[in-house]
Amino acid sequence: MDVYSYFELVERLAPPVRLDVGQPDVPPPEELLEELRRLLRFPYGPSQGLEELRERIAAMWKVDPYEVAVTVGAKQGLAALLHAFRHAPVKLYSPYYPGYMGIARVFGVPLDIRVTSMEDMWEPVPSGPGTYIVNYPNNPTGIVPSRERFRAIVEEARFVISDEVYRWVAFEEAPSALDYGGLEKVAVVDSFSKALSIPGLRLGYVVSSRDVIRRVREFVAATSTSPPTGPQLAVARSFDVLERRRAELSRVYSERAAAFLSKLRLPCVRPMGTFYVFPRVGCSGLAFAERLLSRGISVFPGTFFGAEDHIRVSLVQPLDVLLKAADVINSTPCA
């Protein structure tokens, strides 16, 4: 079973407690909704993204607006970059976000999977030069590597695609790959999906060298003409809410993770960001997830993330619902 057929199964069974989706339950900011209501006409825009938005992003990263490309979700930025680097193996640490697999399959990108372990707190081990795709805070484990490890990877790499969409849900200040390497060897991919609770508006961006950004822009032009115009304007005009959001999301989800894990009796590395926890169940995660489904709770099996005997629980329900779910998980046998 793959992610999409599992998802269909969950949709069909409609369990009362959905802890599978990776979508924050904190509603979008009112300022943004107001801008969206005002922007009734949405024409095509420039393929690199609206200047108004690129300027705000560039100022946030202290780069030039030409070093920013707006994309249709972080996903399109990831697709553009993996496509650009498809001629040599791309190193990817497991557990990983399954979206990379889908992109790699479509574009024939060879992936060189490097396993990390729960015993080692999911810390990635640098593995020589080459292209890497890294994702911290990590979906599904929630971890952020030590600064030494992160630095060593970026220093050894020829190029790093750094998926930083969870920088908005970081319990301590999360490092960026750009702290350790310049734009000539790093592309940061980010998204407004999690930051502003607008996954359906499909808005993300890439920060990198002009050369890499030119290739991302070409990819966007070829596949979607431009990123969506109305949402770009609305986000540009409510950009000031982002810092407040980071504080709010980080507080809500760090409190939930702490409370949920203090109740859960499965071994689990404490997350340092995201709204996920990735406990070990000690048997097939798929069988465990199916057993939970029959008890009214949906989670994602670890198989989809490259770690068989785990489940990913999304903490996107109120705390009382999560604590009841922890009881159910605790009392669900493995076999």
When the beta carbons of 193 and 291 are compared against ligand PMP, the nearer one is 193
The dihedral formed by the CA atoms of 300, 71, 203 and 187, expressed in degrees to the nearest 10 = 70
Shortest Å, Cβ 225 to ligand PMP: 17
Which residue is associated with the tokens 């060593």? 152
Q: Which residue is nearest to ligand PMP (CB)?
A: 73
Kindly state whether residue 204 participates in binding ligand PMP, applying the rule CB under 6 A: yes
Buried b (16+ CB within 10 A) or exposed e, 179-190: ebbebebbbbbb
Select from 131, 139, 162, 226 the one that contacts ligand PMP (CB under 6 A).
139
Beta strands in 57-195 (DSSP E): 68-71, 90-94, 111-115, 131-135, 159-163, 186-191
Angle subtended by helix axes 319-330 and 241-263, to nearest 10: 30
Kindly state whether residue 74 participates in binding ligand PMP, applying the rule CB under 6 A: yes
Residue 231 · residue 36 · CB < 8 Å: yes
| DSSP structure class, residue 302 | G
Residue 279 in tokens: 């406990």
When the beta carbons of 291 and 301 are compared against ligand PMP, the nearer one is 301
Select from 163, 220, 303, 314 the one that contacts ligand PMP (CB under 6 A).
163
DSSP strand pairing (111-115 vs 90-94): parallel
Binding mask 85-124 for ligand PMP (x = CB under 6 A): ------------x-x-------------------------
Binding mask 252-291 for ligand PMP (x = CB under 6 A): ----------------------------------------
Single out the segment in contact with ligand PMP by CB under 6 A; choices: 73-81, 111-119, 227-235, 290-298: 73-81
Q: Rounded CA gap, 286 and 301, in Å?
A: 5
Kindly state whether residue 199 participates in binding ligand PMP, applying the rule CB under 6 A: yes
Residue count, binding to ligand PMP (CB under 6 A): 14
Q: Rounded CA gap, 256 and 253, in Å?
A: 5
Single out the segment in contact with ligand PMP by CB under 6 A; choices: 172-180, 191-199, 216-224, 288-296: 191-199
Q: Rounded CA gap, 164 and 180, in Å?
A: 14
Select from 135, 141, 226, 250 the one that contacts ligand PMP (CB under 6 A).
135
Shortest Å, Cβ 327 to ligand PMP: 27
When the beta carbons of 217 and 291 are compared against ligand PMP, the nearer one is 217
Q: Which residues contact residue 212 at a Cβ distance below 8 angstroms, ignoring those fewer than 6 apart? A: 81, 84, 183, 187, 206
Shortest Å, Cβ 330 to ligand PMP: 26
Kindly state whether residue 75 participates in binding ligand PMP, applying the rule CB under 6 A: yes
Burial label for 27, CB within 10 Å (0-12, 13-18, 19+), is exposed
When the beta carbons of 98 and 130 are compared against ligand PMP, the nearer one is 98
Question: Using CB under 6 A, which residues numbered 285 to 324 contact ligand PMP?
Answer: none
Q: Rounded CA gap, 293 and 311, in Å?
A: 12
Task: Give the footprint of ligand PMP on this chain (CB under 6 A).
Answer: 22, 73-75, 97, 99, 135, 139, 163, 165, 191, 193, 199, 204
